[in-house]
Structure 1
């Protein structure tokens, strides 16, 4: 059963046979694991065994721990870390076997990186999911991050008006660990009084973390301030320009195919599937298609090619040019800015 981190506490009484905690957000993974451990201790699981699937690991060790009598208590927690989230043939068979051997005195916690869709369809995952709960720990974005942030502000009993909340959102989006640490610090510095933007400026620096995919999504949605902010963060984090260009070319190529089809009065239905654009992302592309004409997309492709050429021939990462290119996702900017060629 899939349970999201903010719902986890309500699903732990009684404890399931196993808990699968997988994801790419370290704060959510740690908080979810701690929540399970705390509830397990409350229910009498006092002994904790930790195993890691690494070189030399034997799946018989897990089997023996499952069968062994506890030396210190009647109930035990077995934590198994799968660094690659791939138990392999032997591990898959062992996990399925254990799930057929009900043991109310053992709680199995599996942890690892984010699972791909095909992994959640595997036999080992389904056997565990049937007997337990699956907690996907993916970093919330946009409005989901705002809800998470509001919840943590309420958790710490802080008083923040709209402006400082929006500042925290901009500072820490994509970095839950830093955001939570910041809120803990605010609780110490100003536990009772309202917190202003001026105080936040004194206390914190920009610690948001973004991916190149969030950058291109912001561009497609014409979220100019957000796109420029993400681009600045990617530059400060040392993200290589070729990676950003790869993501941009990919999205522009998709846009070009979709816009060409529309101009030829073709249905996009078959293209959505062919280009692997799922329902969740269709509004993002539709937004860009409604806003941009074919010539705008061609201009963007030409601009990206110029930046790539400068990088390959001169070794120059033209961040200013990329910022300029981002602005051109707004068709109103084309009339005054499209003709400008930026030299470094």
Structure 2
């Protein structure tokens, strides 16, 4: 039976013979395992045995543990880790054998990486799924991630403005563990306060000398030397690349809307308020709009997306690419740097 992590708590009473927790999201996997362990403890499962299928693994060790009497006369949890999610023919036969001799005093939890569709159609998987619960722990994306984030914000009883929620969404989509840790930090620092994006930036930059807001202001103003200096300082102080990308994407999104309006002969007056651009900041955007065409802004967005993709897919913080991006806020740089690709693998 397939049960998604957010529904798991409703399927723990009574406990099934086995639980299959597979997926590549560490937060979901750990949280799901934690819920199962907590309910098992309430039902008297106190002893834990952990086995890992690795080179030389003896499948009969699993059978022995299944049949052995507990040393402490308590019910036991056997947790089997399948690093490759490939038990093979021998493992499959063992699973089938165990499911044919149910043991109410043993709870089997099998964990491993994300399963491909063909793996969920395999005989070994169907054997276990028929007697237990399959918990697929895939990282939620888009609206699903937003829903998860809103639920965690409510769980920690935090009050965040819309721009703060958008910042968290942009920073942590695809990384539930980091998002949850950040929300825990906010609960410690500001449990009763209303938190906006400026406060979030201050928390997560670890009191850096220069802020991401100063960096994006310098970019908008085409202060290339200052941009590169701030960028180098942010790197030296350990400011996370996702925070910088959030700031850059936010400003590029605003520029795109303003530029599109101008090219359509629309007045910017209504957009200033809609985009929450205060009077003292209008000159920054006017400066950028006087230099950058729609094609320039689109090129900046493509470059920023390439840096973000490298970070999310390869785990690489491309500081060289970010320096390149900061230079592209000068239209003259497009003629010199346009041929350089930012999404090449390192």
**TM bucket by the smaller chain?**
0.5 to 0.7
Where does residue 154 of structure 2 map in the other structure?
A: 154
Within 5 Å, which residues of 2 pair with 1:259-274?
A: none
1:343 Cα deviation from its structure 2 partner: 3.6
User: Contact 2:307/2:321 (CA < 8 Å) preserved in 1?
Assistant: no
Where does residue 59 of structure 2 map in the other structure?
A: 59
Where does residue 4 of structure 1 map in the other structure?
A: 4
Cα separation, partners in 2 of 1:226 and 1:203, compared to 1, 3 Å: farther
Do residues 233 (structure 1) and 308 (structure 2) align?
yes
The CA deviation string for residues 129-157 of structure 1, in whole angstroms up to 9 with x for no partner, is 01100000011111111001001001101
Where does residue 85 of structure 2 map in the other structure?
A: 85
Distance 1:226 1:6 in 2: 34
Distance 2:301 2:7 in 1: 29
Cα separation, partners in 2 of 1:96 and 1:238, compared to 1, 3 Å: closer
Distance 2:324 2:315 in 1: 15
User: Contact 1:23/1:29 (CA < 8 Å) preserved in 2?
Assistant: yes
Do residues 13 (structure 1) and 13 (structure 2) align?
yes
Length-normalised TM-score, structure 1? 0.64
Distance 2:339 2:322 in 1: 9
Where does residue 269 of structure 1 map in the other structure?
A: none
Distance 1:13 1:207 in 2: 43
Cα separation, partners in 2 of 1:146 and 1:228, compared to 1, 3 Å: farther
Where does residue 182 of structure 2 map in the other structure?
A: 182
Cα separation, partners in 2 of 1:13 and 1:77, compared to 1, 3 Å: same
Gaps of 5+ in 1: 210-223, 242-315, 325-338
Distance 1:160 1:318 in 2: 29
Where does residue 96 of structure 2 map in the other structure?
A: 96
1:234 Cα deviation from its structure 2 partner: 3.4
The CA deviation string for residues 89-123 of structure 1, in whole angstroms up to 9 with x for no partner, is 10000001101111111100000000010110111
Length-normalised TM-score, structure 2? 0.64
Alignment length (residue pairs): 242
Where does residue 39 of structure 2 map in the other structure?
A: 39
Q: Secondary structure at the match of 1:192?
A: coil
Q: Secondary structure at the match of 1:10?
A: helix
Where does residue 258 of structure 2 map in the other structure?
A: none
Cα separation, partners in 2 of 1:29 and 1:239, compared to 1, 3 Å: closer
User: Contact 2:307/2:322 (CA < 8 Å) preserved in 1?
Assistant: no
Cα separation, partners in 2 of 1:227 and 1:204, compared to 1, 3 Å: farther
Cα separation, partners in 2 of 1:108 and 1:230, compared to 1, 3 Å: farther
User: Contact 1:175/1:208 (CA < 8 Å) preserved in 2?
Assistant: no
Where does residue 113 of structure 1 map in the other structure?
A: 113
Within 5 Å, which residues of 2 pair with 1:194-213?
A: 194-204=194-204, 206=240
Cα separation, partners in 2 of 1:152 and 1:238, compared to 1, 3 Å: closer
1:55 Cα deviation from its structure 2 partner: 1.2
User: Contact 2:79/2:110 (CA < 8 Å) preserved in 1?
Assistant: yes
Distance 2:171 2:8 in 1: 27
- The two structures, once aligned, show a CA RMSD in angstroms of 3.0
Distance 2:313 2:9 in 1: 38
Structure showing greater Rg: 2
Cα separation, partners in 2 of 1:238 and 1:112, compared to 1, 3 Å: closer
